[in-house]
Every structure is written in C-alpha cells, then in structure tokens.
C-alpha cells in the first residue's frame, strides 16, 4: 500500500510538471518563492548567506563618515555637568553674593559718578565745533588747509580732554570707561564726517570745473568762420540735428535719473544739525550722505531686544559678583608670589566665566543694543557682525566680529595707506597698532595706570595671525582662534586687576 501511495504522489507531481510545461505564459506570471535552491543557483548567491564586505571603521578618515552630532551633544552634556559642579562648588564655598541693586547704589552713593555723566555730555561741544568748521569751509569762508588744521586740533582735544578730567577728578572706573567709550566713538565719527565731506567738496568743485570747460569749448565752436559754414551748409545741418538729438537724449536721461534720486541728499544740503546728530546716534562709524532707512519701527522686535538687553546686563552683573570677584580675589596671592602653577590654575579657572561674560557682552552690545538704536532711528543696515565664530584665521575673526570698526579702519586707514604706496602688510600692522592704542586707552585711563597689557595683547595678534595661517588649517585654525580668546583675556584681566589692587590697596 505504501508503494502505491508513493507512486500516486509521484504521478501527481509529474502531471503538474507537464501542465506547467504546457502553459509557459502562466509560468512567467507566477511569483518566485524565495529561499529555494533553484533561486540561489540562478542569482549566484552562496548557500551560507554571507554578510561581511570590505569596509572601513566609521572613525577612520577613509570611511567618509562625517556625522558626529552625538559627540557634539555629549560635549554639551559634559560642559553642562562640569559647569553645574562649578556653580554648586561656588555656592557652597561663598554662598549667594548676588545683589541686583548693588551697582545702582554704587553709582548713586558715589559722589564722583556725576563727573562721568557731565564728561559724557560735554562731547556735544566738540561735535558742534566740527559742524561749524564744515559750514565755514563749505561756504569758502576758510581755506581747506585751515579747516584741516582745525579738525586735527578738535580731534586731539577730544582724545586728551577726557584723560585730563579723569586723571584730575578720578571718578568711578566704570563711569570713566563708559565716558571714554563715548569719546572714542565720537572721535572716529568726527574723522569720518570730516573726510567724507571733504570728498564731496572736491567732487563738487571738479564738477563745476568740468562745466566751465564745456562752456569754453562751446564758445570756441560758435566762433568758427562763416565761410566754412556756408560751404558745408548741408553737412552742418545734419550735424546739428544729430547734436540736438543727443542733447535731448542726455537731458531726458538726466531727468529720469533726477526723478529717481530726487529724495537723495547732496552736498552741501547735508550740513545741518539733524543730519549730524542722526549720524552721531546711528549704529555706524562711517558717514555717508544717504543712509538706508526702514519704512517703520517694529515694536515687537524692539521690545524683544530691550528685554534681552536688560536680562543680559543683570545676568552679567550677577556672574561678576558671584563668580568673577571671588576668583580674582583668590588669584592675588599666587600672582604676588609668582607661583607659576597656581597662576595657571587661576587663569584656567577664570577662563570659563570670563568667556561667558564676553559672549554675553557681544550679544548684548552688537545684537541687542545696536539693533535697538537701529530700530529707533530706522537705520536699515544691521550688519554689525558676521560669522566670526567660524573663523579659521585670526584675520577673519577681526574682520567679522566688529563690522563697524572694521569698516572704519578699512575706509580711513587701510585704503588710504594703500593709495599712498604702502604695502598691505604695513597697512595691516598700522590697523592693529591703532587698535592696540585704542584698547590700552580704554583700559589704562579709567584704572589710572599705564601697563601696556592690552597694547601688547593686540600687537601679538599679528604674529599669531601668521602662525595660524601658515600651520593650522580649517577646524584646527578655528580651535586656535577660540583658544586665544578663551585664554588670552583672563591673563590680561588678572594682570590689570593685580596691578590695580597693588596700586590702590598696597602690597
């Protein structure tokens, strides 16, 4: 019986196979079952189902893998944990030192805070003196040479007057720093205002001289002999018709251009108090006759910037009271004893809070405050900074982190030196030298001491720029820029605070 069953099963399979052979079209449309031996042989797959192929590890540079976002998140988590530990350690060691109204009470109770305010308001005297100078020279009441001499004298007094007042009266260092900042900005703006108006005067005089030459040429043409006109009457008629057509075309083009630019201000119509003080308050250091303007003031945008500014000021002051002051106080003895290892430890400990405050200052001033001024004045050019955080060279950082100063230096220092035959290297060194003088001026005068730490720090940017550009590329250069910012500033801060402490309170 078993034999019969097997034979019947084989007969059934044979019948099915013959039926499939008889219907080839139906065979093509039937799905192929995976995993069969016939399919493996047809597709060339190995029966052990291999899964290994030749490939590099993801962390190898030859793998082509570049998505390390998880490691970035890990760094953020580790930074947050380490910062939390430092905050907790600070609170356990010193308690809560933050006093939100401490600085307000300091300025109210300090009798020497008033001179700083009066000193800041006194800058209007020098602004109006320069305005009178520009009015006189535009009306040819004084010569260009005398106007230039008066501008030099005015700028010299602007730079020296606050130094004399602060040295004699000795007001609060913070108020002195703010007043000096106002005078420095006024100094740079007055130079740009004077130079730009001088360019406009020369252009206006050249235009008048060109018109006079054209008038003389027309008179000479009218004095041509009548005999030549009679001989070439037909040619002259054609020529005059062509000239008339050209004249009409030029006049129509000028009218179109004038209609398009009828709202633009031209020299000397820009010489008025409203235009002058708009420039003095505008978030720019470079003067031009027509600034781009927005159509309206965005109230919500303005409110957000005001809230940001108030919050960041309070946060920065709180970090200074709670974090910076204790660290600096504890760093005095290692610096006095010249304990190298303790000095390095204090510098590294101060680097993090100092850099956080510097970043907050950048956002507070270059984004919040300058946008507030730009919005109130409807000043449309809001490019106060660019992506300096991606800097792969030192030069790129200084060109992009403070756009107003960079534009002023490029327009009034760098390009004039190139036009006078200086090399690009010499012009760059001069820009860094002036920047070093400005930094030392803003720090040494309020602290009543002359130590050159800021000056030397700025000049050291020149060899650092060459080193980074020559030996460090791409993200290594970016890391070097960040390291110079994080480590360099605490060193300068500790140097100045140590010297100020020694001079003020003794050794």
The residues, any chain, with a CB within 8 Å of residue 161's CB and separated by 6 or more, are 122, 126, 183
Sign of CA dihedral 169, 171, 175, 181: positive
Distance of CA 164 to the CA centre of its chain: 32
DSSP code string of 110-170: -TTSHHHHHHHHTHHHHHHHHHHHHHHHHTTSS-HHHHHHHHHHHHHHHHHHHHHHHHHH-
For 293, the 3-state DSSP assignment is strand
Q: What is the H or E stretch that residue 179 is in?
A: helix 173-222
* Residue 164 region by backbone torsions, left for phi larger than 0, else alpha for psi between -120 and 50, else beta: alpha
Rounded CA separation 13/141 (Å): 120
Rounded CA separation 176/170 (Å): 8
Q: What is the H or E stretch that residue 290 is in?
A: none
DSSP code string of 216-278: HHHHHHHTS-HHHHHHTHHHHHHHHHHHHHHHHHHHHHHHHHHHHTTTS--TTTT-SHHHHHH
DSSP code string of 438-472: HHHHHHHHHHT----HHHHHHHTHHHHHHHHHHH-
* Residue 113 region by backbone torsions, left for phi larger than 0, else alpha for psi between -120 and 50, else beta: alpha
* Residue 64 region by backbone torsions, left for phi larger than 0, else alpha for psi between -120 and 50, else beta: left
Structure tokens of 422?
């200086």
For 93, the 3-state DSSP assignment is helix
Q: What are the DSSP E strand ranges found in 344-409? A: none
For 379, the 3-state DSSP assignment is strand
Terminal alpha carbon distance of the chain: 118
Are 442 and 184 in contact by the 8 Å Cβ rule? The answer is yes
Rounded CA separation 280/373 (Å): 11
Whether the ω angle into residue 268 lies within 30 degrees of 0, i.e. cis, is yes
Rounded CA separation 332/503 (Å): 13
Annotated catalytic sites, by residue? 439
């Amino acid at each position: 019986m078993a034999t019969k069953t097997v034979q019947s099963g084989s007969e059934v399979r044979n019948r099915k196979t013959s039926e499939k052979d008889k219907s080839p079209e139906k065979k093509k449309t039937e799905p192929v079952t995976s995993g069969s031996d016939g399919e493996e042989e047809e597709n060339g797959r190995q029966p052990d189902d291999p899964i290994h192929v030749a490939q590099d590890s993801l962390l190898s540079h030859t793998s082509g893998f570049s998505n390390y976002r998880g490691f970035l998140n890990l760094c953020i988590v580790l930074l947050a944990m380490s910062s939390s530990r430092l905050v907790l350690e600070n609170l356990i060691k010193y308690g809560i030192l933050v006093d939100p109204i401490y600085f307000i009470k300091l300025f109210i109770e300090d009798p020497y805070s008033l001179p700083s305010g009066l000193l800041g308001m006194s800058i209007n005297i020098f602004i109006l003196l320069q305005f009178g100078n520009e009015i006189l020279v535009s009306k040819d009441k004084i010569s260009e040479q005398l106007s230039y001499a008066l501008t030099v004298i005015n700028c010299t007094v602007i730079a020296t007057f606050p130094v004399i007042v602060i040295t004699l009266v000795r007001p609060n260092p913070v108020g002195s720093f703010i007043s000096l900042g106002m005078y420095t900005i006024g100094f740079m703006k007055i130079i740009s205002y004077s130079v730009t108006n001088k360019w406009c005067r020369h252009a206006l005089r050249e235009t008048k001289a060109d018109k006079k030459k054209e008038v003389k040429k027309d008179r000479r043409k009218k004095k041509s002999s009548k005999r030549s006109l009679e001989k070439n009457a037909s040619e002259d008629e054609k020529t005059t018709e062509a000239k008339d057509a050209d004249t009409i075309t030029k006049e129509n083009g000028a009218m179109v251009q004038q209609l398009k630019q009828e709202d633009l201000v031209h020299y000397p119509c820009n010489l008025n108090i409203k235009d002058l003080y708009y420039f003095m308050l505008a978030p720019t250091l470079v003067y031009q006759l027509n600034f781009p303007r927005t159509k309206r003031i965005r109230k919500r945008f303005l409110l957000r910037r005001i809230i940001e500014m108030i919050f960041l000021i309070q946060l920065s002051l709180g970090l200074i009271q709670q974090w910076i002051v204790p660290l600096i106080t504890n760093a005095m003895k290692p610096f006095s004893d010249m304990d190298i290892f303790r000095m390095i430890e204090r510098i590294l400990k101060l680097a993090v809070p100092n850099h956080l405050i510097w970043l907050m200052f950048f956002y507070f001033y270059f984004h919040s405050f300058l946008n507030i001024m730009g919005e109130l004045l409807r000043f449309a050019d809001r490019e106060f900074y660019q992506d300096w955080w991606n800097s792969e060279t030192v030069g790129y950082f200084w060109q992009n982190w403070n756009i107003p100063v960079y534009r002023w230096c490029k327009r009034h220092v760098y390009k004039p030196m190139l036009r006078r035959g200086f090399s690009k290297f010499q012009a760059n060194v001069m820009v860094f030298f002036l920047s070093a003088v400005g930094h030392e001026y803003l720090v040494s005068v309020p602290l009543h001491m002359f130590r050159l730490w800021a000056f030397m720090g700025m000049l050291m940017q020149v060899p650092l720029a060459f080193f980074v550009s020559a030996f460090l590329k791409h993200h290594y250069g970016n890391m070097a820029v960040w390291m110079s910012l994080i480590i360099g500033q605490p060193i300068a801060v500790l140097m100045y605070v140590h010297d100020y402490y020694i001079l003020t309170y003794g050794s």
